[in-house]
């Protein structure tokens, strides 16, 4: 089996099966538009079929991508170390000239955002499916934080990075921005803030401090999105200028939290579970990292009926401003999606 070996300018072995570019080109009908599944900050993703009939998903690094060789190598390293049934399986990679490709197992139900933010698809996610997805994401994040060989901070948890299998079970994907921590280390810092606006914890977006608790913050945002069927970023309400977190808090404070819930859930939701999930979501997006639960405690809260601590008012609400998109080389902060709206944190 071919594997990528250490090159002179690499610091680690990148040991994954190596696909040749011709094989991938044939599998994707020369990267046909009809085969395109979607696109993110890394580049477009295509469906392909190998000669043996196996379906694959191919992520192709775009030449205009804000991400590059650093993130590509990072994901290859992570995927070679963390092949777990609850994470999307990486079958191999391809590096030929300017072409850099990652080959994954094909997930027939695409990503969570495909269903969640599309009114024609969202109705297919009843409460039992959404609760199963919430619990599944929490378990997979706990594996990364606590149960894997190395502690992993994902740094880019979002709806488009949660893929769904045949039975709508979630699998975490995209480790291009992830960081491994040794020993008891639970946090780190960087001068290069990367990720997706709207999911970033305040301490990471502003000071570059990332931790397992910044992942918990991202999980809280995702949880509120799953409950509401609305995006945190780019959302506004006629009654107040704030994002989904601010809206959820105002409804909680007014004693009407169920107004947050997606209308498609009216006939299927379990009231006690739904209210509990809103409560947990608000605990996860607390401003101070120490006030947020660990993922281990999140799972306990999801599966018990014990009383929960009261959330504090979120200090940072997010307002939208439009700016010209900057490249990573021009700015300290880069987004993992090709978006022109950025989120500016302002204290209340």
CA distance 315 to 199: 15
pTM of the predicted protein model:
0.80
Q: Which helix (H) or strand (E) holds 45?
A: strand 44-49
Residue 39 placed within a domain: yes
Residue 147 placed within a domain: yes
Domain extent for 87: 21-105
Residue 7 placed within a domain: no
> What CATH number is given to the structural domain containing 310?
1.10.510.10
Terminal CA-to-CA distance of the chain, rounded, Å? 57
Residue 270 has pLDDT above 90, yes or no: yes
101/121 same-domain check: no
Catalytic residue among 13, 118, 156, 215: 156
247/309 same-domain check: yes
CA distance 112 to 124: 12
pLDDT of residue 236: 57
pLDDT of residue 319: 47
For residue range 56-77, list pLDDT tens digits in order.
Answer: 999 888 766 555 666 777 777 7
For residue range 284-313, list pLDDT tens digits in order.
Answer: 999 999 999 999 999 999 999 999 999 999
Strands 333-335 and 193-195 turn out to be: parallel
Tokens found for residue 195: 């990720």
Residue 329 has pLDDT above 90, yes or no: no
Residue 307 placed within a domain: yes
Query: Contact at 8 Å (CB) between 73 and 58?
Result: no
Tokens found for residue 58: 């191919």
192/280 same-domain check: yes
Name the burial class of residue 169, with classes exposed (0-12), middle (13-18) and buried (19+) by CB atoms within 10 angstroms of its CB: middle
Q: How far is CA 253 from CA 57, 99, 247, 256, 348, in A?
A: 44, 52, 10, 8, 16
125/215 same-domain check: yes
Confidence of residue 52 (pLDDT cuts 50, 70, 90): very high
Using DSSP's 3-state secondary structure scheme, residue 189 falls into: strand
Helices (H) and strands (E) counted in the chain, each on its own, are: 10, 15
Q: Which helix (H) or strand (E) holds 103?
A: strand 99-105
Instruction: State mean pLDDT over 216-241.
Output: 83
161/190 same-domain check: yes
Instruction: Report how many domains make up the chain.
Output: 2
Of residues 89 and 333, which shows the higher confidence score? 89
CA dihedral 221, 219, 119, 57 (to 10 degrees): 140
Domain-ending residue, one of 105, 126, 160 = 105
> Which range has highest mean pLDDT (61-75, 92-106, 318-332)?
92-106
148/97 same-domain check: no
156 an active-site residue? Answer: yes
Query: Contact at 8 Å (CB) between 181 and 151?
Result: yes
CA distance 252 to 259: 9
Domain-ending residue, one of 105, 127, 160 = 105
Of residues 14 and 16, which shows the higher confidence score? 16
Tokens found for residue 105: 């197992």
Q: What is the mean pLDDT of the chain?
A: 80
pLDDT of residue 331: 41
Domain-ending residue, one of 50, 70, 105 = 105
CA distance 90 to 69: 17
Query: Contact at 8 Å (CB) between 173 and 161?
Result: yes
Q: How far is CA 297 from CA 42, 101, 174, 188, 347, in A?
A: 33, 37, 25, 22, 28
pLDDT of residue 65: 57
CA distance 43 to 204: 24
Residue 343 has pLDDT above 90, yes or no: no
81/127 same-domain check: no
62/118 same-domain check: no
Residue 13: how many other CB atoms lie within 10 Å: 14
Instruction: State mean pLDDT over 229-257.
Output: 82
Residue 127 has pLDDT above 90, yes or no: yes
């Amino acid at each position: 089996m071919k594997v990528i070996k250490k090159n002179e300018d690499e610091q680690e072995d990148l040991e994954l099966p190596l696909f040749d570019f011709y094989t991938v080109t044939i599998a994707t009908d020369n990267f046909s538009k009809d085969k395109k599944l979607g696109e993110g900050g890394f580049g477009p993703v295509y469906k392909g079929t190998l000669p043996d009939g196996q379906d694959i998903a191919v992520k192709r690094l775009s030449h205009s991508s804000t991400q590059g060789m650093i993130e590509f190598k990072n994901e290859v390293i992570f995927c070679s170390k963390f092949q777990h049934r609850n994470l999307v399986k990486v079958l191999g990679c391809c590096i030929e000239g300017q072409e850099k490709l990652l080959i994954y197992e094909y997930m027939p139900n695409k990503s969570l955002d495909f269903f969640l933010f599309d009114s024609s698809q969202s109705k297919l996610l009843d409460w039992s499916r959404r609760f199963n997805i919430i619990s599944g994401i929490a378990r997979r994040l706990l594996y990364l934080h606590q149960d894997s060989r190395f502690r992993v901070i994902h740094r880019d948890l979002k709806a488009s990075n949660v893929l769904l299998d045949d039975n709508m079970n979630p699998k975490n994907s995209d480790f291009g921005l992830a960081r491994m921590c040794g020993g008891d280390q639970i946090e780190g810092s960087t001068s290069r803030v990367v990720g997706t606006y709207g999911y970033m914890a305040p301490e990471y977006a502003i000071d570059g401090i990332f931790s397992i608790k910044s992942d918990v913050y991202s999980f809280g945002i995702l949880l509120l999105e799953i409950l509401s069927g609305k995006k945190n970023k780019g959302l506004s309400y006629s009654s107040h200028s704030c994002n989904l977190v601010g809206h959820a808090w105002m409804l909680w404070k007014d004693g009407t939290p169920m107004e947050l819930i997606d209308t498609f859930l009216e006939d299927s939701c379990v009231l006690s579970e739904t209210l509990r999930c809103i409560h947990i979501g608000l605990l996860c997006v607390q401003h101070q990292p120490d006030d947020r639960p660990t993922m281990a405690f999140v799972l306990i809260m999801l599966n018990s009926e014990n009383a929960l601590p009261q959330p504090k008012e979120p200090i940072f609400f997010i307002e939208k401003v439009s700016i010209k998109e900057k490249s990573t080389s021009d700015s300290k902060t880069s987004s993992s999606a090709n978006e022109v709206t950025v989120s500016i944190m302002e204290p209340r």
